[in-house]
Amino acid sequence: MSKDKLTIGTLLFPDYDLLDVNGTLRMLGALENVNILMISQSGDKIKSNCQVGNYIDYNFDNCPELDVLFVPGGIGTRKEVNNPILLEFIKSQIPKVKYVLVVCTGGGLVAKTGLLDGKRATSNKIAWEWVTSQGSNVCWIKKARWVVDGKFYTSAGVSAGMDMALGFISDVYGREVADNIALRTEYDWHDNPDWDPFSDKILEKK
Give the interface with its own copies as residue ranges (CB under 8 A). Answer: 10, 17-19, 21-23, 25-26, 28-30, 35-36, 38, 45, 48-55, 124-126, 156-160, 162, 183-188, 190, 197-198, 201-202
Residues whose CB is less than 8 angstroms from the CB of residue 143 and which lie 6 or more positions away in sequence, other chains included: 194, 196, 199, 200
Return the number of the residue (54 or 113) whose C-beta is nearest its own copies: 54
Are 187 and 167 a contacting pair, CB within 8 Å?
A: no
> How many CA within 13 A on the CB side of residue 158?
13
Q: How far is the CB of 4 from its own copies (least distance, A)?
A: 17
Cβ proximity to its own copies, 17 vs 80, nearer residue:
17
| Cα angle: 39, vertex 180, 97; to 5 degrees | 30
Residue 60 beta carbon to its own copies: minimum distance, rounded to whole angstroms: 18
Backbone dihedral region for residue 74 (phi beyond 0: left; psi -120 to 50: alpha; all else: beta)? left
Distance, CA of 200 to CA of 144 (rounded, Å): 11
Between 123 and 170, CB nearer to its own copies: 123
CA pair distance 9, 100, nearest whole angstrom: 10
Least distance CB 26 / its own copies (angstroms): 4
Pick the closer one to its own copies by CB: 114 or 198: 198
Query: Which residue lies nearer to its own copies by CB, 29 or 118?
Result: 29
The least CB distance from residue 61 to its own copies, in Å, is 20
Residues 31 and 33: their CA atoms lie apart, in Å, by 6
